[in-house]
Structure 1
Amino acid sequence: MVSRLILVLADQLTRNVAALRDYRDGDLIVMAEVSDEATYVPHHPRKIAFLFTAMRKFAASLREEGLAVAYTTLDDPENTGSITGELIRRADEHGVSEVIATEPGEWRLIQALNDCPLTVRQIEDDRFIATHAEFERWAEGRKELRMEWWYREMRRKTGLLMEGDEPAGGKWNYDHDNRKPAPGEIDFSGPMRFTPDETTEEVLTLVGNRFGNSFGSLDDFWFGTDSEQASRALTRFIKHALPNFGDYQDAMMSEEQFLYHSIISVYLNSGLLDPMDACRAAEDAWKAGDAPINAVEGFIRQIIGWREYVRGIYYREGSDYAKRNDLNHNRSLPGFFWGDDTQMRCISKTVEQTRTQAYAHHIQRLMVTGNFALLAGLNPQEVQDWYMAVYADAYEWVMSANVIGMTQFADGGIVASKPYVSSANYIDKMSDYCKGCHYSAKKKTGEGACPFNLLYWHFLDRHREKFEKNPRMAQMYATWDRMSDEKQTTIRDEADTFLNRMAQGALV
Structure 2
Amino acid sequence: MTVLVPVLGDQLSHGLASLKGCDPADTVVLMMEVAEEAAHVRHHKAKIALIFSAMRHFAAELRKAGWRVDYIRLDDPENAGSFTGEVIRAAERHSPRLIRVVEPGDWRVEQAMLDWQTFIGCPVEILPDSRFLCSRDEFASWAAGRKELRMEFFYREMRRRTGLLMDGKDPVGGKWNYDAANRSGPPTGLKGPPLPRFAPDAMTNEVIELVGTRFADHFGALDKFSWPVTAQEAETAAAAFLKDRLPTFGQWQDAMVRGQDFLFHAVLSPAINLGLLDPLDLCRRAEAEYRAGRAPLAAVEGFVRQLIGWREYIRGVYWLEMPGLAEDNYLGATRPLPDFYWTGKTDMACLADCVRTTRDNAYAHHIQRLMVLGNFALLAGIRPQDVADWFLVVYADAFDWVELPNVAGMALFADGGRLASKPYAASGAYIDRMSNYCGSCRYKVKLKTGPDACPFNALYWHFLDRNEDKLGRNMRLANPYATWRRMSEEKRTEYLASAEAFLQQLQNADAGWARHGQSEQNR
Q: Which residue does the alignment assign to 2:519?
A: none
Matched AA of 1:176? A
Q: Structure 2 residue aligned with 1:218, among 217, 222, 226? A: 222
Q: Structure 1 residue aligned with 2:275, among 256, 271, 277? A: 271
The 10-residue stretch of structure 1 (108-117 or 368-377) with the greater mean CA deviation from structure 2: 108-117
The 10-residue stretch of structure 1 (159-168 or 317-326) with the greater mean CA deviation from structure 2: 317-326
Distance (whole Å) between structure 2 residues aligned to residue 399 and residue 220 of structure 1: 23
Distance (whole Å) between structure 2 residues aligned to residue 319 and residue 101 of structure 1: 21
The reply on whether 1:158 has 2:162 as its aligned counterpart is yes
The reply on whether 1:197 has 2:196 as its aligned counterpart is no
> % of aligned pairs identical?
51
Q: Which residue does the alignment assign to 1:177?
A: 181
- For residues 311-357 of structure 1, the C-alpha deviation after alignment (integer angstroms, 9 at most, x for no partner) is 01011112221211111111110100001511111000000000001
Give the TM-score, by structure 1 length: 0.98
Distance (whole Å) between structure 2 residues aligned to residue 145 and residue 186 of structure 1: 37
- For residues 83-103 of structure 1, the C-alpha deviation after alignment (integer angstroms, 9 at most, x for no partner) is 111111111122336321100
Does the 8 A contact of 2:344 with 2:353 survive in 1?
no
Matched AA of 2:60? A
- For residues 422-460 of structure 1, the C-alpha deviation after alignment (integer angstroms, 9 at most, x for no partner) is 100000000001112011111111120111011100000
- For residues 247-301 of structure 1, the C-alpha deviation after alignment (integer angstroms, 9 at most, x for no partner) is 0000000021101000000011000000111101101111111101000000000
Does the 8 A contact of 1:48 with 1:207 survive in 2?
yes
Does the 8 A contact of 1:91 with 1:97 survive in 2?
no
Q: How does 1:487-502 map to 2 (within 5 A)?
A: 487-502=491-506
Q: Which runs of 5 or more residues in structure 1 are unaligned? A: none
SS at match of 2:19: helix
Query: Against the structure 1 CA distance between its residues 370 and 434, is the aligned structure 2 distance closer, same or farther, given a 3 Å change threshold?
Result: same
Matched AA of 1:8? V
TM-aligned CA deviation for residue 189 of structure 1: 2.8
TM-aligned CA deviation for residue 183 of structure 1: 2.5
Distance (whole Å) between structure 1 residues aligned to residue 8 and residue 432 of structure 2: 42
Q: Which residue does the alignment assign to 1:72?
A: 72
Query: Against the structure 1 CA distance between its residues 343 and 187, is the aligned structure 2 distance closer, same or farther, given a 3 Å change threshold?
Result: closer
The 10-residue stretch of structure 1 (18-27 or 302-311) with the greater mean CA deviation from structure 2: 18-27
Over the aligned positions, Cα root-mean-square deviation in angstroms equals: 1.4
TM-aligned CA deviation for residue 22 of structure 1: 4.1
Q: Which residue does the alignment assign to 1:233?
A: 237
Does the 8 A contact of 1:6 with 1:23 survive in 2?
no
- For residues 59-91 of structure 1, the C-alpha deviation after alignment (integer angstroms, 9 at most, x for no partner) is 011111111110011111111111111111111
Q: Which residue does the alignment assign to 1:296?
A: 300
Does the 8 A contact of 1:188 with 1:240 survive in 2?
no
TM-aligned CA deviation for residue 221 of structure 1: 1.2
Q: Which residue does the alignment assign to 2:318?
A: 314
Q: Which residue does the alignment assign to 2:48?
A: 48
Distance (whole Å) between structure 2 residues aligned to residue 190 and residue 216 of structure 1: 22
Distance (whole Å) between structure 2 residues aligned to residue 157 and residue 274 of structure 1: 17
Distance (whole Å) between structure 2 residues aligned to residue 474 and residue 335 of structure 1: 34
Distance (whole Å) between structure 2 residues aligned to residue 42 and residue 97 of structure 1: 36
Distance (whole Å) between structure 2 residues aligned to residue 342 and residue 128 of structure 1: 40
The reply on whether 1:478 has 2:478 as its aligned counterpart is no
Distance (whole Å) between structure 2 residues aligned to residue 16 and residue 253 of structure 1: 39
SS at match of 2:509: coil
Q: How does 1:72-221 map to 2 (within 5 A)?
A: 72-96=72-96, 98-116=98-116, 117-118=119-120, 119-221=123-225
Distance (whole Å) between structure 1 residues aligned to residue 414 and residue 66 of structure 2: 48
SS at match of 2:199: coil
Matched AA of 1:189? P
Does the 8 A contact of 2:344 with 2:351 survive in 1?
no
Q: Which residue does the alignment assign to 1:16?
A: 15
Does the 8 A contact of 2:344 with 2:355 survive in 1?
no
- For residues 213-237 of structure 1, the C-alpha deviation after alignment (integer angstroms, 9 at most, x for no partner) is 2111111211111001111100000
Q: Structure 1 residue aligned with 2:463, among 459, 463, 468? A: 459
TM-aligned CA deviation for residue 181 of structure 1: 0.2
Matched AA of 1:10? G
Query: Against the structure 1 CA distance between its residues 276 and 159, is the aligned structure 2 distance closer, same or farther, given a 3 Å change threshold?
Result: same
Distance (whole Å) between structure 1 residues aligned to residue 163 and residue 303 of structure 2: 15
Q: Which runs of 5 or more residues in structure 2 are unaligned? A: 514-523
- How many residue pairs end up in the alignment? 507
- For residues 346-400 of structure 1, the C-alpha deviation after alignment (integer angstroms, 9 at most, x for no partner) is 0000000000011111111110000000000001011111000000000011112
The reply on whether 1:375 has 2:374 as its aligned counterpart is no
TM-aligned CA deviation for residue 144 of structure 1: 1.4
TM-aligned CA deviation for residue 184 of structure 1: 2.3
SS at match of 1:71: strand
Distance (whole Å) between structure 1 residues aligned to residue 75 and residue 176 of structure 2: 51
SS at match of 1:70: strand
The 10-residue stretch of structure 1 (232-241 or 498-507) with the greater mean CA deviation from structure 2: 498-507
Give the TM-score, by structure 2 length: 0.95
SS at match of 1:346: helix
TM-aligned CA deviation for residue 120 of structure 1: 2.5
Q: Which residue does the alignment assign to 2:402?
A: 398
The reply on whether 1:337 has 2:344 as its aligned counterpart is no
Q: Which residue does the alignment assign to 1:7?
A: 6
Matched AA of 1:271? G
Matched AA of 1:64? K
Distance (whole Å) between structure 2 residues aligned to residue 94 and residue 389 of structure 1: 35
TM-aligned CA deviation for residue 17 of structure 1: 1.2
Q: Which residue does the alignment assign to 1:358?
A: 362
SS at match of 2:452: coil
The reply on whether 1:59 has 2:59 as its aligned counterpart is yes
Does the 8 A contact of 2:193 with 2:245 survive in 1?
no
- For residues 94-117 of structure 1, the C-alpha deviation after alignment (integer angstroms, 9 at most, x for no partner) is 233632110000000000111231
SS at match of 1:221: coil
Query: Against the structure 1 CA distance between its residues 316 and 22, is the aligned structure 2 distance closer, same or farther, given a 3 Å change threshold?
Result: farther
